[in-house]
Chains A and B, each alone.
Chain A
Amino acid sequence: MKYIIIGNGVSSVGAIEAIRKNDKTGSITVFTDEKFPCYGRPLISYYLEGKTSTDKMSYRGGNFYKDNNVTLKLGAAITKIDPTSKTVTAGGKEYAYGKLLVATGSSPFVPPTPGYDRVKNKFTFIRLSDALAIEKHVGADKRALIIGAGLTGLKCAEGLYGRVGKITVVDMADRVLPAVTDSDASGIVRAHLESKGMEFFLSDSVAEYEENAAVLKSGRRIEFDILITSVGVRPNVSLVADAGGAVEIPTETGRPIRGIVVDETQLTTLPDVYAAGDCTLSYDVTVGCARMLALQPNAYLQGETAGNAMSGGVTFRRDYLPVNAGGFLGLHMITAGSYVGDAITANADGAFRRFFVKDDRLTGFILIGGYDRAGILTDMIRKRTPVSNVDFEEMIKQPALGALGMDYVRAVLGK
C-alpha cells in the first residue's frame, strides 16, 4: 500500500504510528510546506517564553521518520488532489497514493482592515516560523499589540511577557477567552493579566492601521512595534473542496459550518481520502453536533483513527469534546466541554471551580487555580455519566474515583 499524508502536525504523527502498527512495509510519504519535522504547535508560546527550545520541541525523537520508514518531504506543498487518478501534485510532479490523509490543519484568519498592508512588523501566531520571526523583533523598548484575546492571543501575550516592554490586547468580544470561560472566569484571567501590566481594550476592534499604530473603532490610537493578529483559525479545506469533497455542513442558522466532512473513521466524501485534525469537523458530544475543534488532543486521536482505517486496523468511535489546559503567568486553568445547563460553583482555597449540569449529565467545567485530578471530570463528560449515579457533592470538591462508586473502582483498579 502507498500512503501519502499531507501535513506534518500531530494528526500526521498519529496516523503514522497507527499505520505502522498494522502495515510494516507499505510506503509512507509525508508532504509539508513547513521546514521542520513535527513539533507541538501549542509549544510556540512556551518557546517565546523560554520554557522550551527548538531542540526539545520535536514531537517525536530525532529518528522518528527514519525508524518508521517514512519519507518526509519538507518545504513541499501539495497543490492538487486528483481522486480519480489517485494522485497528488507537489512542485508540478504527480505522486500516486493508495490511501491519502489530508492533515492540512488550519490557518489564522486576518480580518481585512484598511492599512494592514502598511504595517511592517505584522505576524500571526500558529507556527514555529511565526515565533521565530516575532523573536527577531522583541526588546525591552518594544510595544506589542495583539488582536484577539482568545487562548492563542493570550498565550502569545504570555510568551512575549518580559521580552517586550508593553503588551496591549484588543478583542471584539466584551471579555477575554470568550470561547472557554464564562464572564466570572474571564474576569479572573483578565484581572490577573492586568496586574502583570498588560492592557486590554475589549468590545473594540481596529478601524485602520498606520505603519506603527492602530486606530480603534472607539477612536483610541495604540502605537506598536509588533502586531500579532490572533482572532481565530479557518480550516484548510481547499485541496479537498477543489477535488469535489464536502467541506461544509448546513446549520439551522442558515450559515454553514466549514471543515472537511468526515465519518467515524475520518473518511471524507472522497474514496480513499481521509482527513484529520484542525481541517476537519468533529462531533462534539457536549453540544451534540459537528463543529470545528481545533485542539491538539483531538488532532492526534483523529490522525490515529484515520491511520488505522487506512491500514486495515481496528477503529472505534471517539467522543470528542473541547478540553483546554494551560497557564497564564502563574494562573493555571483547565476547562472542558460546553457551558450549558445549570451552573454549580464550588470555589475553595482561592480556586475558581464552576460546573455545568444539564439533563443529569456534566456538560462542562471551568477550573482556575485548582484542578487536581480534573481528568476524572473530563471522563464523566465524555462518557455521559449520569450525575445522579455519582457522589457529585464530593466530586466537585475533589474529583476522585471513589465518588464514581466502588464497582467502578474495582473494575478499573482491580485485577
Chain B
Amino acid sequence: MKRVYVNEEWCLGCRLCEYWCVFSASGEKHFPFAFDGGAKPPAGIRVESAGGINFAVNCRHCDDPLCMKSCISGALSRDDHGAIRIDKAKCVGCHTCIAMCPYGCIVSGGESMPIKKCQLCASRDYTPQCVSHCPAGAIVFEEE
C-alpha cells in the first residue's frame, strides 16, 4: 500500500503539515474555517524535534495495527486503501489505542470525544494534504 514517508533531512520544522492535517480532517472548504472553533494541531501528524533534527510523525497504518486490534468498541478498521480509519460514532474515547500505538500517532479528541488519527485524507481522494503542502518535500506518499 501507499504510505506517508518522511525525509527528515529536508524537514524545516515549519509544522505546516500539522495545520493542513487539521484542515483536511475538518471537512471545511476554506482553510481558516477549520480553526474557527479553536481547533489546534496535532491531529494526524505532528512534528518532532530531536537534537536539532526535525521530522514529521504520522500513522504507519501498520501491518500489525495494535490500535485496531485493541480497540474496545470496534471503532477502528482498515479500509480498502489500507488506511486504519476511525468510526467516530462508535468510539467512546477510552484511549486504549493511545496506550497501544507504538509511534504515538493517536491523539485524544478531548473528553468523551472520538480520537483523532491520520485517515490518509480519505475524504480528499486519498491525497494526503501534509504531503501536498510540505514546502520542503520532506513528506512523501509512495508505495513501499
- A residues sitting closer than 8 Å to B (CB atoms) are 14, 38, 40-43, 46, 51-52, 56-60, 296-297, 300-301, 304, 323-327, 330, 332, 334, 336, 371-376, 378-379, 382, 391, 399-403, 406, 409-410, 412-415
For the complex, give the distance between the alpha carbons of A200 and B90 in Å: 32
Contact B50 A304 (CB under 8 A): no
Judged by a CB distance under 8 angstroms, whether B95 is at the interface is yes
Judged by a CB distance under 8 angstroms, whether B79 is at the interface is no
Contact A325 B74 (CB under 8 A): no
Q: How far is the CB of B49 from chain A (nearest CB, A)?
A: 7
Residue in B50, B89, B92, B97 whose CB lies within 8 Å of A400: B50
Contact B69 A410 (CB under 8 A): no
Judged by a CB distance under 8 angstroms, whether B121 is at the interface is no
Judged by a CB distance under 8 angstroms, whether B36 is at the interface is no
Judged by a CB distance under 8 angstroms, whether B28 is at the interface is no
Judged by a CB distance under 8 angstroms, whether B94 is at the interface is yes
For the complex, give the distance between the alpha carbons of A332 and B98 in Å: 12
Q: Which 6 A-B residue pairings sit nearest by Cβ, starting from the closest?
A: A402-B50, A373-B104, A297-B70, A379-B102, A375-B101, A59-B74
Contact A42 B55 (CB under 8 A): no
Residues of B13-60 contacting chain A, CB below 8 A: 48-51, 53, 55-57, 60
Q: Which residues of chain A come closer than 8 Å to B95, judged between CB atoms?
A: 325-327, 332, 334, 371
For the complex, give the distance between the alpha carbons of A338 and B48 in Å: 29
Contact B104 A376 (CB under 8 A): yes
Q: Which residues of chain B come closer than 8 Å to A376, judged between CB atoms?
A: 101-104
Q: How far is the CB of B82 from chain A (nearest CB, A)?
A: 15
Residue in A324, A372, A402 whose CB lies within 8 Å of B49: A402
Q: How far is the CB of B109 from chain A (nearest CB, A)?
A: 12
CB within 8 Å for A59 and B53 given contacts A373-B104, A375-B100: no
How many residue-residue contacts, CB under 8 A, span A and B?
141
Contact B72 A43 (CB under 8 A): yes
Contact B99 A336 (CB under 8 A): yes
For the complex, give the distance between the alpha carbons of A391 and B53 in Å: 15
Q: Which residues of chain A come closer than 8 Å to B72, judged between CB atoms?
A: 40-43, 296
Give per-residue flags for B51-90: 1 if the beta carbon is below 8 A from chain A beta carbons, else 0. Answer: 1010111001000001101111110000000000000011
CB within 8 Å for A46 and B102 given contacts A52-B73, A60-B74: no
Q: How far is the CB of A335 from chain B (nearest CB, A)?
A: 8
Contact B48 A334 (CB under 8 A): no
For the complex, give the distance between the alpha carbons of A376 and B67 in Å: 12
Interface range on chain B (Cβ under 8 Å from partner):
35 or more
Judged by a CB distance under 8 angstroms, whether B123 is at the interface is no
Q: Which residues of chain B come closer than 8 Å to A415, judged between CB atoms?
A: 5, 140, 142, 144
Residue in B5, B73, B98, B112 whose CB lies within 8 Å of A413: B5
Contact A371 B103 (CB under 8 A): no
For the complex, give the distance between the alpha carbons of A14 and B89 in Å: 22
For the complex, give the distance between the alpha carbons of A38 and B74 in Å: 10
Contact B74 A58 (CB under 8 A): yes
Residue in A40, A297, A324, A412 whose CB lies within 8 Å of B73: A40
Contact B8 A325 (CB under 8 A): no
For the complex, give the distance between the alpha carbons of A40 and B144 in Å: 34
Residue in B53, B67, B73, B99 whose CB lies within 8 Å of A374: B99
**Complex A-B: 25 CB contacts under 8 Å:** A38-B74, A40-B74, A41-B72, A42-B94, A43-B72, A43-B73, A46-B92, A52-B73, A304-B69, A325-B99, A327-B93, A334-B99, A372-B98, A373-B104, A374-B98, A375-B97, A376-B104, A378-B100, A399-B104, A400-B48, A409-B48, A409-B55, A410-B8, A413-B5, A415-B5
For the complex, give the distance between the alpha carbons of A414 and B5 in Å: 5
Which residue from chain B places its CB closest to the CB of A53 in the assembled complex?
B89
Q: Which residues of chain B come closer than 8 Å to A401, judged between CB atoms?
A: 48, 50, 57, 103-104
Q: How far is the CB of B115 from chain A (nearest CB, A)?
A: 11
Q: How far is the CB of A179 from chain B (nearest CB, A)?
A: 16
Contact B51 A297 (CB under 8 A): no
For the complex, give the distance between the alpha carbons of A147 and B23 in Å: 47
